[in-house]
Chains A and B, each alone.
Chain A
Amino acid sequence: QKEVEQNSGPLSVPEGAIASLNCTYSDRGSQSFFWYRQYSGKSPELIMFIYSNGDKEDGRFTAQLNKASQYVSLLIRDSQPSDSATYLCAVNRVTDKLIFGTGTRLQVFP
């Protein structure tokens, strides 16, 4: 079992729709959860982080965490073609290394 699992995609959604990206993790000691966006040929860019169960909203992005189910998700509302990228889920214990999934490729078509 991989430590962090994501569906590789591609996830294709029309412009203006909600994109839902999912991630599961195996280490129950994980305390911090992150979503990074990575455009092709570029480095990961932090877009959201969450520490507590529930939802956290920032603009068009909502991160959801369920520690009991070991599940993290990212919702992107009003998806735009510029959102087309690979989304990396990462988890860690405090001050610990980040453990990444392999990423989900999102395609938003006009």
Chain B
Amino acid sequence: DAGVTQSPTHLIKTRGQQVTLRCSPKSGHDTVSWYQQALGQGPQFIFQYYEEEERQRGNFPDRFSGHQFPNYSSELNVNALLLGDSALYLCASSLNGAGGQPQHFGDGTRLSIL
């Protein structure tokens, strides 16, 4: 049973560039959430996708956008990268409507901005 998979594992970009991160949810899960984790901090919620729509959004600027595909996989796009965007980006999947079932995380994408 495949867990949550994310790609790429590591990425190095320069300021002003754009990046796309990808996530495939755990088998049987239909909801994908994205989090940003800075060094020494807990993960911060970016947004959540269900039924190919953004259902909730955290306190992140519009430079952060996403998409969910019919197979439940998801992408996170970040435009006009800033040095402060350097972080571990985590994708978590869960099953909607299952009474608060836990979210399971992928291994993350470590993004470094030079």
Contact = CB atoms under 8 A, between A and B. Distances in A.
A12 to B, nearest CB: 18
Interface stretch (A60-68, A73-81, A89-97): A89-97
A102 B39 CA distance: 10
A57 interface: no
A34 to B, nearest CB: 6
Nearest to A8: B40
Interface residues of B, number: 27
B105 interface: yes
Contact of A101 (B33, B42, B56, B92): B42
A32 B99 CA distance: 9
Contacts of B43: 44, 88, 98, 100
Interface of B: 31, 33, 35, 40-45, 48, 55-56, 58, 88, 90, 92, 96-97, 99-100, 102-108
Classify chain A's interface size. Answer: 20 to 34
B102 A34 contact: yes
A94 B94 CA distance: 11
Contacts of B31: 95
A17 interface: no
A40 to B, nearest CB: 11
Given A44-B90, A88-B42, A103-B42, A97 B102 contact: no
B102 A102 contact: no
A95 B97 contact: yes
A34 B42 CA distance: 13
B8 to A, nearest CB: 14
Nearest to B45: A97
A45 B33 CA distance: 15
